[in-house]
Amino acid sequence: MTQQPNYYCIIPAKVRYAKTISPNAKLLYGEITALCNQEGYCWASNDYFATLYGVSKTSVSKWVNQLKEQGFITVELRYKKDSKEIAQRRIRIVEEPIKEKESTSPTKVDGRMKEKFKENTITNTKNNNTKNKKSACRYTESQLQLAKRFQSNLAKDFPKEMSRVNVSRWANDLKRIHEEENIEMSEIEEMITWLATHDFWSRHVRNPNVLQEKFERLLVEKKAQQSKKLKQKTESLPEWVNKRISEHRVSPEEERELQQKIQAFNQMNV
């Protein structure tokens, strides 16, 4: 009999009583700590957690982002060699969130410590600026163009709102949706194109964050609409066909001619 590993989960008080994250995010934190006991990091994907808890990948993505934004975890993405395709995601537990570390700093320091603190501040600022510059250029040119198209589609109805949009940030957001939700960029592009044709959703999905949140629902509605249009194409035969059939019994030659016309009619409506 194969022995299954027995790993326990830990949810510390700082996470349990945090008001900035949802109860489900706290539960996910515990699951992550259990998986970290095996390799030192959590390898599980959003799809894994979605299957485990019976929820959507979008919900899991929200919980992960909550934990990351509050400094409870770090997320590292590893890519395949010479590719932008994600090979693995590694989530690690942060023992002490940044906010708590800052609160433990001494209030009184001597001159040397002040100077050292100043040097560290300058160094950290430079490092942060460097990281911000790198993160600002993470998206591809095609993702930037798609973000511009998304903005352009909305600019007619919401000119003031769209004039304030940071298109580069939108491009990064589209890249994030692609990576976190494992959705092909072609699917995201098709969805943005479809949104522009939908009277309701074109007014209610006005940024990539809402697009990510509603993506699964939008996909269902998009498929339903396409199916409805396909059924509408299967129209009744034109009146002249029904009239001719009722007038007289057709010969084999006339029947072949009639079938050809019916086929030509159907092809026109495909």
pLDDT 10s digits, 162-172? 999 999 999 99
Note the pLDDT of residue 77. Answer: 86
Q: What is the mean pLDDT of residues 126-147?
A: 67
Task: Specify the CATH number of the domain 1-103.
Answer: 1.10.10.10
Measured distance CA(84)–CA(81) in Å, rounded:
8
pLDDT digit string (tens) for 52-110?
889 998 999 999 999 999 999 999 888 888 877 778 899 999 876 444 444 444 444 44
Q: What is residue 196's three-state secondary structure?
A: coil
Note the pLDDT of residue 226. Answer: 83
Neighbours of 64 (CB within 10 A): 22
Question: Does position 114 have pLDDT exceeding 70, yes or no?
Answer: no
Note the pLDDT of residue 85. Answer: 78
Residue type, 34: A
Give domain limits for the chain: 1-103, 141-232, 239-268
**Which carries the bigger pLDDT value, residue 112 or residue 21?**
21
Q: Which pTM was predicted?
A: 0.43
Measured distance CA(131)–CA(119) in Å, rounded:
18
Residue whose structure tokens are 């609409």: 225
